[in-house]
């Protein structure tokens, strides 16, 4: 683009998150050649001002584009479109979509229909009538400890694979009465987090079961917010158990954020939970317990935003590809 300005259009009331609207529009600008490899995207503050958005939203979009291999973030230089396989794949993938979308848009206009009137019912129809039959679905056993946000893991696995996902907590597996191995043949994959991979592999060593490990990380815009807190600010990190709180605090420390005073805590001890919230200037809670903690301290509480690491998303998508090939 000759001018370092993106012709993006954001609709606040459209039922697609603003950050997704931005990301997909930028990918179309790349796919249609309006942004070429080597060119720089606008600085985050400039684009945020142009669109009347929070700068963290733009940071999230740029970080997502980086994770997808489309751009590089260079300190002091900016965000630059890369030249490589990922960009070529994006262009190849979007080419057949372009004609289809243009035709759909034209027919909607002819019928006096808005985009929202077409997209939302079409998505609902697809959910109802074009899902894979039950026998073709992947069957996944998620094994995680109760201290961490296993609900987030389950939701992400379902989003990326459309699989039937059952949760089994590690604490339950320690009960000798529980014999998950009896039903192991009905499961396509066992999935667990990096924190528990050795324990799970040992548990199922004799079952010859396929085990996949995935990893989760904090979202960058949230880390940026925490990094801006003043020296000595007390921040409580609340997980389902104290181990989850420690994990959150450690991820923040790993990001180089050391000026705050971390208070890791869980919901398993109410007395300690209330003390931690009382002492803290800010509170961050796992998504699965966010609403519960917010009721205790609405003015302090923020959601500890999570995302699957890019490599984990790739692994899960590959499971779907393998399943599709087996069913074809």
User: Do residues 12 and 60 share a domain?
Assistant: yes
User: Do residues 171 and 37 share a domain?
Assistant: no
d(C-alpha 168, C-alpha 311), whole Å: 23
User: Do residues 104 and 11 share a domain?
Assistant: yes
Query: In this predicted model, what pLDDT tens digit does every residue of 2-61 receive, in sequence order?
Result: 446 789 988 877 778 888 899 999 999 999 999 999 999 999 999 999 999 898 999 999
Range of the domain at 113: 1-130
User: Do residues 301 and 322 share a domain?
Assistant: no
Mapping DSSP to helix (H, G, I), strand (E, B) and coil, where does residue 224 land? Answer: helix
Query: In this predicted model, what pLDDT tens digit does every residue of 124-175 receive, in sequence order?
Result: 877 676 554 444 678 898 988 877 778 888 888 988 888 889 888 887 775 4
DSSP character for 40? Answer: B
List residues bridging with 263 in a β-sheet.
Answer: 236
Cβ distance 63 to 69 under 8 Å?
A: no
pTM: 0.56
Q: Which of 82, 106, 130 is the last residue of a domain?
A: 130
User: Do residues 153 and 126 share a domain?
Assistant: no
User: Do residues 3 and 149 share a domain?
Assistant: no
Query: In this predicted model, what pLDDT tens digit does every residue of 196-225 receive, in sequence order?
Result: 888 888 887 776 678 899 999 999 999 999
Query: ∠ CA 179-184-189 to the nearest 5 degrees?
Result: 130
User: Do residues 169 and 105 share a domain?
Assistant: no
């Amino acid at each position: 683009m000759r001018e370092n300005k993106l012709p993006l259009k954001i609709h606040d009331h459209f039922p697609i998150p603003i950050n997704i609207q931005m990301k997909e529009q930028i990918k179309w600008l790349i796919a249609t050649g309006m942004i070429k490899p080597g060119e720089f995207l606008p600085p985050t503050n400039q684009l945020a001002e142009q669109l009347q958005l929070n700068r963290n939203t733009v940071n999230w979009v740029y970080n997502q584009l980086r994770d997808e291999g489309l751009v590089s973030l260079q300190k002091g230089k900016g965000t630059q479109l890369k030249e490589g396989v990922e960009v070529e794949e994006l262009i190849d993938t979007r080419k057949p979509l372009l004609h289809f979308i243009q035709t759909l848009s034209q027919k909607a206009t002819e019928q006096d229909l808005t985009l929202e009137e077409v997209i939302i019912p079409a998505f609902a129809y697809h959910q109802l009538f074009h899902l894979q039959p039950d026998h073709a679905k992947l069957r996944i056993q998620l094994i995680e400890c109760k201290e961490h946000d296993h609900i987030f893991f389950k939701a992400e696995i379902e989003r990326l694979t459309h699989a039937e996902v059952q949760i089994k907590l590690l604490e339950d597996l320690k009960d000798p009465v529980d014999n998950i191995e009896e039903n192991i043949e009905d499961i396509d994959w066992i999935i667990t987090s990096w924190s528990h991979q050795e324990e799970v592999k040992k548990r199922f060593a004799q079952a010859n079961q396929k085990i996949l490990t995935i990893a989760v990380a904090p979202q960058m815009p949230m880390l940026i917010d925490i990094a801006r807190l003043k020296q000595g600010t007390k921040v409580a990190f609340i997980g389902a158990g104290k181990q989850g709180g420690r994990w959150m605090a450690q991820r923040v420390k790993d990001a180089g954020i050391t000026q705050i005073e971390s208070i890791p805590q869980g919901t398993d001890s109410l007395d300690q939970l209330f003390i931690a919230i009382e002492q803290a200037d800010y509170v961050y809670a796992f998504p699965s317990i966010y609403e519960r903690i917010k009721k205790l301290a609405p003015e302090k509480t923020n959601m500890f935003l999570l995302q699957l690491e890019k490599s984990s998303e790739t692994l899960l998508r590959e499971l779907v590809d393998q399943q599709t090939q087996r069913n074809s």
